[in-house]
Amino acid sequence: MSTATAPAVRPPSNQSSLRHRLAERGVDRTLWLLLPAVAFIVLLFMYPFLYGLGLSFQPSHGGGIFGNYAAFFSDPYLRNTIWKTLGLGLPAALFNVIASIPIAYLMRGKVRGKRLLTTLLVVPITLGTVLTAQGLIMYAGPTGWLNTVLLDLGIIDEPLTLIHNWIGVFLSLIITGFPFAFLLTLSYISGIDPALDKAAATLGAGPMQRFRTITMPLLAPGLVITFTLSFVLAFSVFPSAQLVGDPTGSTRVMSIAAYDAAFQQFDFPMGSTMAMIMAVVMLVVIGLVMLWRTTLYRGATGGKG
């Protein structure tokens, strides 16, 4: 009897089971909702990227498809922009992450004025780099408040050169990058169950030991992410390198070189080439950092985060 009914039942069940199996893997009609996002990425990111990549292989001054890349690496003035950019981006990102750890650690619980402080910290992010750079010129410039006060107090004899050099760009990267790193670190640190700290205390660990053995290992993966994002932000520095830096010398970063090539010399292929090299350098750094992250504990940290 079962042999008679089985063939009649099977075809529809097969059909529905395929759909069922797909649905189990997350393939169903709701996937269409992804369409706007996919279109957005393709049109506004993938297309310009691939167009730029293609352009970089069509040098305006000849030399084969790798002509631009050869030109870039053979010219020390261009090649050194890589080191200048890394020389700004890495220390700035590192400083922002390291400086945010103790402050976030102190602010992890219920602290009076926490909301006020976080609000104040968000302000520089919203102001943007141009306004920050302008403020920095007014404050730290040769005739700015800082130098005026220091000179009047007789602490220094000559104004400190804090802008139009590496220091100026570094300061600007900290002003805009620190709040970002701090807010991220704070959210990671609040995600660690406070009971772990208490448990460690009852087991005889002092404040420094607790920080070293409990908080840091659980925070480290989050710090790596924070560092990566801070680095990406700092690496693509352009306005401040131009405004409070030394755009033809010590702070001639890759974005400035690319801008000059594309919009001063109207060599779009060369500009694209530099943008591509910039992307590769950034990916190499991120790749190395993420590789290191895989060696850390990355599981649950027990908290609300």
Partner 1 sequence: MTDNHFRELRLDGVSRAYGSQNALNDLNLTISGQEFIALLGPSGCGKSTALNCIAGLLPLTGGSIYLDDRRIDTLPPEQRGFGMVFQNYALFPHMSVRKNIGFGLKMHKVPKAEAAKRVDEAVALVQLQEHQHKAPGQLSGGQQQRVAIARAVALHPPLVLMDEPLSNLDAQLRLEMRMEIRRLHQNLGLTTVYVTHDQEEALSMADRLVVLRLGVMQQFGTPEEVYDHPANAYVAGFMGYRNLLELDIVTADAEKVSARGKHIALVGANRESVTTGRAIAAIRPEDFTIGATDGNRIEVTVDIAEYHGRELSVQASTADGLSIYFRTSERVAPGDHVVLGVPAHRVLVFRSDNSIDADVQQTTEDAPAGVGAGGPGTGR
How many C-beta atoms lie closer than 10 Å to residue 49's C-beta? 14
Both structure tokens of 288: 């190395």
The site for partner 1 (CB under 8 A) is made up of 193, 195-196, 198-206, 209, 213-214, 217-218, 297, 299-302
Give me the helices (H) in the chain, please.
2-24, 35-41, 47-56, 67-74, 76-106, 114-127, 129-140, 145-152, 166-190, 194-202, 207-210, 216-235, 239-243, 254-259, 268-293
Give 26 or 299: the residue with its C-beta nearer to partner 1: 299
Nearer Cβ to partner 1 (6/300):
300
Nearer to partner 1, 10 or 298 (CB): 298
- Choose among 187, 271, 199: nearest CA to 226: 187
Task: Please say whether the beta carbons of 253 and 170 come within 8 A.
Answer: no
Distance CA(191)–CA(7), nearest Å, equals: 56
For residue 197, the minimal CB distance to partner 1 (Å) is 9
Q: How far is the CB of 53 from partner 1 (least distance, A)?
A: 41
Q: Are 117 and 107 in contact (CB under 8 A)?
A: yes
Residue 12 or residue 113: which is nearer to partner 1 going by CB?
113
Name the minimum Å distance from CB 299 to partner 1: 5
Q: Is 26 left (phi over 0), alpha (psi -120 to 50) or beta?
A: left
Which CB sits closer to partner 1, 209 or 248? 209
Give the residue with the Cβ less far from partner 1, 25 or 110: 110
Q: Report in angstroms how near the CB of residue 158 gets to partner 1 at its nearest.
A: 50
Supply the minimum distance, in Å, between the C-beta of residue 195 and partner 1.
4
CA 209 to chain centroid: 30
Q: Shortest distance, CB of residue 301 to partner 1, whole angstroms?
A: 6
